[in-house]
Structure 1
Amino acid sequence: MSSRLHREVWAALGTVLDPELDEPITDLDFVESSTVSAEGVATVVLRLPTFFCAPNFSFLMVADAYDAVSEIDGITRADVTLADHHASDEINGGVAAQSGFVGTFEGLAVAELDELRAQFFRKAALAGQDKIARPLVDDGASPAELANTSLGDLPPSAELDRMKKRRAALGLPNGYDAPLLIDGDGNRITEAQVPLHLRRARLQRVGIETNGEFCKSLLQTRYPAAAH
């Protein structure tokens, strides 16, 4: 049972994203250790690239990991902690007590992190449009063609699934007939708007990817054993 549960715990952790980088914490090597006891107690330790990573991002990852692991059938308790962080004690205690971000940082935090999460989903959804549209542009698709492309016109891909999930989380159009190119409110981008919209989407994608590579480099410097 423990072997099965360990695989399920790892799979659950793979659904937890670094909100800023839009990548799973397992792919980022943010999981320092993960074990499951014979009694079904899951013990997970997370680590981050620096001692001073933003507390709000850090809290989101620990809380999301706790929720994902706790939902697994057969896990009797989830102990999810963050190591080597300036707010480890506060975050670990708050997540264990299910206090929320405001309760964890009482007097310092004034709101929960739902809007922060949505903000990064919006960025990821915009970046995803560049990832999917870029090959079409390279193949000669015109602004008019791009403006009239729907998600159902596109071949299946992991990037398309990722973008659909981000849109779904935001309540934006993500079905077969949904436009490929939309603004932040879900409105179809017009032919005239396509060039500027794609430049913005590309800048967003490059920013996310550059930040991701920087964080991976910092992590490998801080924890040399994490280098591949």
Structure 2
Amino acid sequence: MTGAPADPLLAALLVALEGVRDPELDEPITALGFVSSCTRSPDGVAEVHLRLPTYFCAPNFAFLMVADAYDAVAAVDGVRAARIVLEDHFAADAINAGVAARAGFAGSFAGEAAGELDELRAGFLRKAVLAGTDQVCRPLLGAGRDPADLARLRLGDVPPSPELRRLRRRRAELGLAAGDDAPLLIEPGGGGGVPGGAAPLYLRKARTTRVNIEANTGICRGMLRHRYADAGLGQTSVEDR
């Protein structure tokens, strides 16, 4: 779905949807092309249709995106009611009904789900922090800084960039320090800074995490375009502007 709508409410809905990310890929569902349509009725009912790269995408990932889309759309001023429709997915009926009823993941898959998805979301955020750290550190390493030097840096020492802004957001979402005095290299699971001696291994892990996420993103984009002939590259993310 591309193009900027003239309707201010539709434009606001798309901005809200830009804040909804695929939890595994850490990219907005709009940028990935997962939003197939977004409409609103004259009386303020917003309806969003989502589609994923495969019929068997993991239901927990799908549920997070549908639930997050519902929350984002329902919070837009002027929206009286929100309806999010996941299409062409084996668990679409259960997910759509569960999100509409605000039943949670376990309630939507009664007898099949062991619990809610908070830890799953946190795990993906930890990976996003590692990947984001690599994005911020690569230019510094390319400019001649060594890993031990990076371990001494604070976020406020790093030149401003979209990558740094994104890293700060992900760290804040995970409850990690994201201010200027926070260490650049930080353990996503524990929150402590990384000693200089451990920095090379930490940075290799961060790079591997980024490469894996980017590879999976490319695969998902390709599968979506193969599945739906009209699926383009999606919209530009607000974070990347």
Match for 1:90 among 88, 94, 101?
Answer: 94
2:103 equivalent in structure 1:
99
Deviations 1:172-220 (A, max 9, x none): 1111100111113111111111111100000000000000000000000
Structure 1 residue 227: Cα displacement? 3.4
2:192 to 187, 192, 197: 187
The farther-off stretch of 139-148 and 94-103 is 139-148
**Which of residues 104, 124, 128 is equivalent to 1:124?**
128
2:63/2:105 contact within 8 Å kept: yes
Name 1:133's counterpart in structure 2.
137
Q: Name 2:221's counterpart in structure 1.
A: 216
Give the 3-state SS of the residue equivalent to 1:176 in structure 2. coil
> Higher RCO, 1 or 2 (CA under 8 Å, sep at least 6)?
2
Give, in whole Å, the separation in 2 of the partners of 1:164 and 1:29: 25
Does the residue aligned with 1:80 lie in a helix, a strand or coil?
strand
Determine the C-alpha separation between the residues in 1 that align with 2:207 and 2:149.
Answer: 18
In the alignment, what sits opposite 2:14? 10
Number of aligned residue pairs: 227
Q: Given residue 221 of structure 2, which amino acid in structure 1 is its aligned partner?
A: K
Which amino acid in 2 is paired with 1:128? G
Q: Quick one: percent identity of the two aligned structures?
A: 56
Query: 2:69 aligned to 65, 70, 75, which one?
Result: 65
Paired letter, 1:163 = L
TM-score, normalised to structure 2, is: 0.92
Which structure 2 residues correspond to residues 146-225 of structure 1 after superposition, within 5 A?
146-183=150-187, 184-225=189-230
Q: Is contact 2:130–2:209 with CA below 8 Å preserved after alignment?
A: yes
Q: Does 1:142 pair with 2:143?
A: no
What SS does structure 2 have at the residue aligned with 1:110? coil
Secondary structure of the equivalent of 2:31? coil
RMSD of aligned alpha carbons: 1.0
Give the TM-score normalised by the residue count of structure 1.
Answer: 0.97
- Aligned counterparts of 2:210 and 2:148: Cα–Cα separation in 1: 22
Deviation at 1:116, TM superposition (A): 0.6
Runs of 4 or more off by more than 2 Å in structure 1?
Answer: none
